[in-house]
Amino acid sequence: MKLITAGESHGKALTGIIEGLPSNLKINIAEINRYLALRQSGYGRGGRQKIERDKIEILSGVRNLRTLGSPVAFQIKNNDYDNWRDFMAPEGCDITKRTLTKVRPGHADLTGIIKYDQTDARNILERASARETAVRVAAGSIMRQYLAGLGVYISGYVRSVCGIADGRRYTFEELESAKSQPLFMLDGEKQQAAMELIDELKEEGDTAGGTIEIRVKGLKSGFGSCMQYSTKLDAILCGAIMSVQAIKGVEVGLGFKAADLRGSAVHDKIFYDNKFYRETNNAGGIEGGMSNGEEIVLRAAMKPIPTLMQGLRTVDYITKDAVTAAGERSDVAAICAAEIVLESVVTVALAEVVSQRLGGDNMCEVKERYKRLK
């Protein structure tokens, strides 16, 4: 299974193609749109989300709500294109307007302009923009339906915003209620404090990041491989997480904390009672690059959004003058969007690993093969 995405932030549409879905997977379109709406939600988003109403339009590979086994192509229209047609149209447009040369620190602007031999960072930022993640959420939602057919579920929540952290542990079932919270946090007091901080940052023209936990439940052991570095499940899932805009760190299970503890306090002891089990899950469900049957626990750190309304010191790419970086409109925090995106990219990466191991041309075959695994 493989996903390819295309689309510019203010272009006509975002497009995705998924290759390798088995036939007869029932597609719930309302569910895909629910995740797209969740990605647009959350406290601290900016003006753009008032313009967009992301909805999937499936173009191929699905007939009467069931996959055919052929590539599934889909698009999500950019409503904002109506305001940008004159400056973005592939067929010809005015590229002297809406230019960006006051390159923003922390963005792709400067490095991209040099690498792609441009004079306008618009030709870089349009693709580097986190708008692209809408496609990955739609694809993730389709692949989530594939994994749910096997009893594999993905969830998560926001653990901290700009240092305001919830250190509690939650069961997988408790995580679902996070989605109805303004910041996808489960600790009401921390969430209130984080919302107040976001209000302050908005006043100051500043931005915030945070940390997110993603969990996978129901995955049997043996996915990923210890036989080749590139096939290790932790490498694949962490790579997927690091591919998301603004993500700067990732850990599995105890993660960085494990470095400060003794081996006897870190490694999950193994027991047997009709089946092998562990009483702790410090490994985060992955040992030797393979799922071990426990819940997979991944945590990611998102940096603050690099477009600041207050503007950071930078240099104009053309004049070389010291200037304040561009910043017309920006989210203060997009941590909820990132939470949905991270669930989605983990789902996409996992579905690829699962389909590689199981194969199967139709859903019935896939389910039978999964059931037969120990």
Rounded to whole angstroms, what are the CA distances from 312 to 87, 107, 207, 291? 26, 12, 12, 43
Q: Which stretch binds ligand EPS (CB under 6 A): 21-29, 127-135, 264-272, 281-289?
A: 127-135
Tokens 């995740």 sit on residue: 35
Task: Judge contact between 131 and 17, C-beta under 8 A.
Answer: no
Of residues 31, 52, 316, 365, which one binds ligand EPS by CB under 6 A?
Answer: 52
- Residue closer to ligand EPS (CB basis): 150 or 338: 338
In this structure, what are the phi and psi dihedrals at residue 158, rounded to the nearest 5 degrees?
-90, 125
Site for ligand EPS contains 179 (CB under 6 A) = no
Q: Which stretch binds ligand EPS (CB under 6 A): 15-23, 44-52, 350-358, 364-372?
A: 44-52
Q: At what angle do helices 133-148 and 29-40 cross, to 10 degrees?
A: 140
Look at residue 290 and give its three-state secondary structure: strand
Of residues 1, 8, 9, 216, which one binds ligand EPS by CB under 6 A?
Answer: 9
Site for ligand EPS contains 67 (CB under 6 A) = no
Window 320-359: residues binding ligand EPS (CB under 6 A): 329, 331, 337
Closest residue to bound ligand EPS by CB:
48
Task: Judge contact between 183 and 193, C-beta under 8 A.
Answer: no
Angle of CA points 189, 192, 193, to nearest 5°: 90
Q: How far is the CB of 1 from ligand EPS (least distance, A)?
A: 24
Q: How far is the CB of 333 from ligand EPS (least distance, A)?
A: 12
- Residue closer to ligand EPS (CB basis): 152 or 348: 348
In this structure, what are the phi and psi dihedrals at residue 317, rounded to the nearest 5 degrees?
-60, -35
Site for ligand EPS contains 134 (CB under 6 A) = yes
Which of 211, 213, 220, 271 has its CA nearest to residue 246?
211
Site string for ligand EPS, 265-304 (x = CB under 6 A): ----------------------------------------
Q: How far is the CB of 231 from ligand EPS (least distance, A)?
A: 32
Of residues 307, 314, 344, 355, which one binds ligand EPS by CB under 6 A?
Answer: 307
Q: How far is the CB of 214 from ligand EPS (least distance, A)?
A: 18
Q: Work out the burial of residue 32: count CB atoms within 10 Å of its CB; fewer than 13 is exposed, 13-18 middle, 19 or more buried.
A: buried
Site for ligand EPS contains 122 (CB under 6 A) = no
DSSP per-residue string spanning 301-366: EEPPPS--TT--EEEBTTT--EEEPP-SS--S--HHHHHHHHHHHHHHHHHHHHHHHH--SBHHHH
Site for ligand EPS contains 144 (CB under 6 A) = no
Which of 110, 142, 119 has its CA nearest to residue 32?
142
Tokens 């194969």 sit on residue: 359
Q: How far is the CB of 158 from ligand EPS (least distance, A)?
A: 16
> Which residues contribute to the site for ligand EPS (CB under 6 A)?
9, 46, 48, 52, 125, 129-131, 134, 307, 329, 331, 337
